[in-house]
Every structure is written in C-alpha cells, then in structure tokens.
Amino acid sequence: MEFRPTSLKDAMLILSESLSDERGWFMRVFCNRELADAGLESVFHQRNTSHNHRRGTLRGMHFQRPPHAEVKIVRCIRGAIHDVIIDLRPSSPTFLRWEGFTLTEDSPTQVYVPRGFAHGYLTLADDSAVSYTVSAYYAPEAEGGVRWDDPCFAIDWPEPVHLASKKDRAWPDFDPATGGLEC
C-alpha cells in the first residue's frame, strides 16, 4: 500500500497494488500494520456499504462530532463516484478547504478521511456502491453535516445533483465562527 498526501492536512490517498493474471486481479485494500507504520489510524470498528441506484445521487456532507468523531477509509466498489472531503478543524492550516477525487470500481485508490472532516460523494454512474471502513461506532446524537451547495465551501461538483436526502438538503449554512470541529 502506498500513502500519498492530499492538499488537505492529514488527509491521504491510499493506493493499493493490483496483481493481475488470466483469472482477473487481486488487491489488498486494508492493512492495520501498514496504516500504523504510516502514522495513521489503524483501529476500525465498522464497515458500511451504500448502494445508489441513479447517477447524480448525492450523499453528504457528513461528520460525527467529538467524542464520536471518526476516521473513514472510503472506496468505490461499483460504478464511479466523485468523493469530496472538507477540513472543518479550526486549528488546521487547511480549515474550510475541500478537495475532490474521482473513485471507480477498478481504481486502486481509496480516500483516508481524518477526524474533523466532512465527507460526501456524488455518483457518476448508475448502480454505484461505496464501502466505508470507520474507526468509531455510529452515534446518532453526534451526527452532523454541511450542505453540498453551501456557499461557504463553493464545492465544484463535476455534474448536477439530481437526488439528495431531505436531511442533506436541510443542513444550515455553515458558520466558520461556531461550526468547526476539534477532535
């Protein structure tokens, strides 16, 4: 596994080597030891999968507030997505900045999302699925989010959003003075 920094502090891309032969390919996508050796979170408690029927489906931008803040490792396992992370840590030099990554089912790339980041994605293909490896148990009382179209972030999505949940459309405008996360 190879760990590449992104433009956001503490966020990483994880690239796995794919071994191919006449049968197809094999790829290791998770290794506690290699994560720990890279100084990253290596203890995870949940693995979640989401399936999306239609291209243009948006999920996000979600986070868990402390003390339930979580690290996520995100991988597209079917179809294609545009994955976006936002640094919401006021003490970070990249506070309020976002970055997006195209992930596909054939890609060896995963996104390592640190604590204190909002995360979401837009499907770029019908029948897309995403797998999340998560470091903390889900705590509904700690759930938070920001809108994908909040002018505070001005995220440049590659395609229009056609479908988003009522909850994801209803997050209030982000207030940088009061809305940051310290973990």
Active site residue ranges: 62, 132
User: In which region does residue 32 sit, left (phi positive, over 0), alpha (psi from -120 to 50) or beta (all else)?
Assistant: alpha
Query: Which residues touch 104 (CB under 8 Å, ≥6 apart)?
Result: 76, 79, 80, 81
Structure tokens at 9: 């502090």
Between CA 132 and CA 138 the distance in angstroms is 12
Amino acid at 141: E
Looking only at the bridges linking them, the beta strands covering 12-15 and 2-5 are antiparallel
Task: Take residue 164 and report the two structure tokens written for it.
Answer: 């988003």
What is the distance, to the nearest Å, from the Cα of residue 183 to the centroid of all Cα atoms in its chain? 17
Sign of the CA dihedral running 117, 50, 100, 56: negative
